Chain A
Amino acid sequence: QKEVEQNSGPLSVPEGAIASLNCTYSDRGSQSFFWYRQYSGKSPELIMFIYSNGDKEDGRFTAQLNKASQYVSLLIRDSQPSDSATYLCAVNNGFSGGYNKLIFGAGTRLAVHP
């Protein structure tokens, strides 16, 4: 079992729709969770981070965390063609051990079509 799992996609949504991206993780001791966006040929760009169970909203983005189910999701409202990218879910499971270590999922490719 991979430590962080995501559907590779592509996830295709029409412009203006809600895009829902999902991620599961295996280490119950994980403390912090991140969503990065990566355009082709570019480096990952931080979109959202979440540490506590529940929802966290930032503009058109909402991150949801359910530690009991070991599940993290990202909702993108009013999707735009510029949102078309690969979305990487990452989990930091090192801090309790005194270090940083991000474990990444394989990424979900999102395509927003006009």
Chain B
Amino acid sequence: KAGVTQTPRYLIKTRGQQVTLSCSPISGHRSVSWYQQTPGQGLQFLFEYFSETQRNKGNFPGRFSGRQFSNSRSEMNVSTLELGDSALYLCASSFGDRSTDTQYFGPGTRLTVL
């Protein structure tokens, strides 16, 4: 079974630009969660989507947004990029409908903002 895939793997942008990252979950998984990982803050929860609905959102500004499509693929968008947005962005997929849910991570997208 194929794992979680993320594209692109690397991105370099400049301040003020926007970026869209994509995540394809494991087949059969309907939940996609996004996380940001930085050396200073560690792994932080951004938001979770399940069956095209955002179920929860972390403490990030509105510049961070996402969506999920009917095939469970998800995208996240960051507008008006800031230097502090440089990070590894990880998505994780799971079934999303059971208390024993387990999330599996993709390889991540490394975003550098210059």
Contacts and interface: CB of A to CB of B under 8 A. Distances in A.
Interface of A: 31-32, 34, 36, 42-46, 49, 51, 88, 90, 92, 94-95, 97-107
28 contacts: A31-B99, A32-B99, A34-B103, A43-B90, A43-B107, A43-B108, A44-B90, A46-B102, A46-B103, A46-B104, A46-B105, A49-B102, A51-B100, A88-B43, A90-B43, A94-B48, A98-B55, A99-B56, A100-B33, A100-B55, A100-B101, A102-B43, A102-B45, A102-B92, A103-B45, A104-B35, A104-B42, A105-B42
Interface of B: 31, 33, 35, 42-45, 48, 50, 55-56, 58, 88, 90, 92, 94, 96, 99-108
Nearest to B101: A100
Nearest to A103: B45
Contact of A34 (B35, B45, B102, B108): B102
- The winner among A42, A99, A100, A101 for most chain B CB atoms within 10 A is A100
